[in-house]
Amino acid sequence: MPKIVLVHPQIPPNTGNIARTCAATATELHLVGPLGFEISDRYLKRAGLDYWPHVKLSYHNDITEFLDVAKQRGGRLIGYSVRGKKDYLECEYFQDDWLLFGSETNGLPPELLAQCDLTSFIRMEEGTVRSLNLSVSVSVVLFETRRQLKK
């Protein structure tokens, strides 16, 4: 099953909502520090409610540590960005993909985007809207991967 990776997330309720979605779908969630909050943050826990024990959570201190784990485990790195090259609906997803999302304020760091095997975006029909909320973006992409993989 593809894995969700949040790089430097800043807003606890977004991460909590994503964790809840990951728990519901048995999807691994990888958090890459530094984070904009403490894992014990009450808003993070509140958003995840009582689902935290069911989250397959991994924490990586920094990008280098995460990349070492990803390389060891194998699979493609797919970075999601407003500057991505391919519409997420045109991507073919595989079981071992790593789906990378950046912080709410800065997106994925350019040096990490450069290491991705593929960069993708979610098309916005209204030109004045740059992007969706992080938790919505993760859900949209995760459920498309699940649809394609029949999960």
CB 139 within 8 A of CB 21: yes
131 annotated as belonging to a binding site for a ligand: yes
Quickly count: other Cβ atoms within 10 Å of residue 52's Cβ.
Answer: 15
> Contact 102/8 with Cβ under 8 angstroms?
yes
Give the ranges where 1-151 is alpha helix by DSSP (H): 12-25, 42-48, 63-73, 110-113, 134-149
* Pairing of β 56-60 and β 28-32: parallel
Place of tokens 């999601």: 80
What 3 state SS string does 83-127 have? CCCEEHHHCCCCCCCEEEECECCCECCHHHHCCCCEEEECCCCCC
Question: Could you report the per-residue pLDDT of 13-43, keeping only the tens digit for each?
Answer: 899 899 999 999 999 999 999 988 777 656 6
pLDDT tens digits, one per residue of 97-143: 999 999 999 999 999 999 999 999 999 988 788 889 999 999 999 99
Domain extents in the chain = 3-149
Q: What is the pTM of this model?
A: 0.93
Residue 58, marked binder: no
Residue 151: its pLDDT value, please? Answer: 76
CATH superfamily entry for domain 3-149:
SPOUT methyltransferase, trefoil knot domain (3.40.1280.10)
Determine whether the annotation assigns residue 78 to a binding site: no
